[in-house]
Chains A and B, each alone.
Chain A
Amino acid sequence: GQNIDQPTEMTATEGAIVQINCTYQTSGFNGLFWYQQHAGEAPTFLSYNVLDGLEEKGRFSSFLSRSKGYSYLLLKELQMKDSASYLCAVMDSNYQLIWGAGTKLIIKP
C-alpha cells in the first residue's frame, strides 16, 4: 500500500529552527510537496521537490532523498504565525497526490 508518515505534533520556540520529517512509500514518484494549513483554513503550497537535494525559499527549505524515501521541511527564525499544520504529499505514478496526516507545529514564545 501507499503510506506517508510524519510526526503528529511538534513544539518549538519562537526564533528557533525546526525540522519536520516525512517518509514515504508510494507506487511511483513524481514529486513531493509541502503545504501549510492554519487551523480552519485551506492548505497553501510551500515547496516542491522532484530531484534529490535542498530547495531553499526564504525562511523555509525542503530536502529530498528519493533513495531513502525521505524529505524534511526546515523552518528557520520561527515566528508565532508559523503555528500551523504542515502537510507532506507525494505525487504517485498516476499523478495523484497521496497525503500524510500532517504535523501540527506549536510555537511557544
Chain B
Amino acid sequence: IAGITQAPTSQILAAGRRMTLRCTQDMRHNAMYWYRQDLGLGLRLIHYSNTAGTTGKGEVPDGYSVSRANTDDFPLTLASAVPSQTSVYFCASSDSNPPSGSGNEQFFGPGTRLTVL
C-alpha cells in the first residue's frame, strides 16, 4: 500500500441498508478525515480523528458514524442509508491536527462513489 486506499470504489445501495466505507493509510499520519463532495458544493467534512482512539464531528455528521481503533484505519458507517447520502466520499489524512509545523497538507484517497436508491 502506498498512501491512502478506499473501498469500495463505487457502490449502489438500497435505502435503509447499512454500509461501511473503508479507509486505510500507511503514512503513519495521526489525523484522518471523511469528506463528501457534491456537485456545485465544496468538500464538506463529515467526521475527523486527530489521533487513534478519538473522533470528532464535522460540518455534516448526521447519519454517519466513525471509529478509529488504530492509526491506519478510519471506517465510515452509514447506519441506514438515505438518497440524500448519494455522493462521492473522500478519506484524507495529515501528519497532525492541529498542525505541528508549516503546511500540514491533507492527502486524499481515490474516493468512493455511493448511490443510494
Contact = CB atoms under 8 A, between A and B. Distances in A.
Given A43-B90, A48-B102, A101 B108 contact: no
A105 B66 CA distance: 35
Contacts of A89: 42-43
B103 interface: yes
Contact of A95 (B41, B97, B102): B97
A4 interface: yes
SS of B interface (majority): loop
Interface size bracket, A side: 20 to 34
Interface string B99-110: 100110111111
Interface residues of B, number: 21
A48 B103 contact: yes
Interface of B: 40-45, 48, 58, 90, 97-99, 102-103, 105-111
Interface of A: 4, 30-31, 33, 41-45, 48, 50, 87, 89, 91, 95-102
29 contacts: A4-B42, A30-B98, A30-B99, A31-B99, A31-B103, A33-B105, A41-B111, A42-B108, A42-B109, A42-B110, A43-B43, A43-B108, A44-B108, A45-B105, A45-B107, A89-B43, A95-B97, A95-B99, A96-B58, A97-B43, A97-B45, A97-B106, A98-B42, A99-B42, A99-B43, A99-B44, A101-B40, A101-B41, A102-B42
